[in-house]
Copies of this chain bind each other. A is one copy, B any other.
Amino acid sequence: MKKSKRETAETRRRIVLAAAEAFRRNGIQATGLADIMAAAGLTHGGFYRHFDSKDQLIAEACAASLEAAGDVPRAFAAHYLSAEHRDNPAEGCLFAALGSELARCDSHTREAATAAFLKAVDALAERYGRVNPETAKARALVALSAMSGAITMSRIVTDPKLSAAILRHMRKHLATV
């Protein structure tokens, strides 16, 4: 059942994207390779034709999640701090979905995360207009950290009103900065 090079590359990509979603939805440790392979429409035996280890997939899946986030869109904070984002971690921000797990990942994964974070910081800083670049970058650092913390807290809390209040007040707060 050998596949063409193009099919092989597509399969590999499918596995990475399935992993990126599953990790954000259920956590890295809680997601088994068999789950991911099944989500990609395969059996788990074939995994090692594409990757050396689960750790390698983790690094690539996280990089893919961060890449998919892309540049910071207009009205970024409003969308980031929405109930929709809170309720759909699988399609949302990696830092919010996996923050504390990410902090314990190996250096490959954390370096990918660092690069993507810096890229997001720069993209956001550019939108701060006519302040000096250092100040803009500092603001962006603060805003991104604060936003990911707010989404995480809004997901932990069991009271829906409190959860909504966390997002609403953080939105207002960042609008005034």
Contact = CB atoms under 8 A, between A and B. Distances in A.
A152 interface: yes
Interface string A72-91: 00000000000000000100
Interface stretch (A12-20, A34-42, A50-58, A165-173): A165-173
Interface string A100-128: 11111001001101100110000000000
Tell me the number of copies of this protein.
Answer: 2
Contacts of A165: 138, 141
A167 to B, nearest CB: 9
B153 A95 contact: yes
Closest 10 CB pairs of A and B: A149-B149, A146-B146, A103-B155, A145-B150, A99-B152, A29-B29, A138-B169, A145-B149, A145-B153, A142-B173
Contacts of A69: none
A30 B28 CA distance: 11
Given A26-B104, A118-B162, A153 B144 contact: yes
Nearest to A150: B145
Nearest to A89: B103
Nearest to A29: B29
- Which DSSP category, helix, strand, loop or mixed, fits chain A's interface? helix
Given A27-B104, A146-B150, 10 more contacts: A99-B153, A100-B102, A100-B152, A114-B157, A114-B159, A117-B153, A118-B162, A142-B173, A145-B150, A149-B149
Contact of A99 (B147, B156, B158): B156
A144 B89 CA distance: 21
A156 B114 contact: yes
A45 B139 CA distance: 52
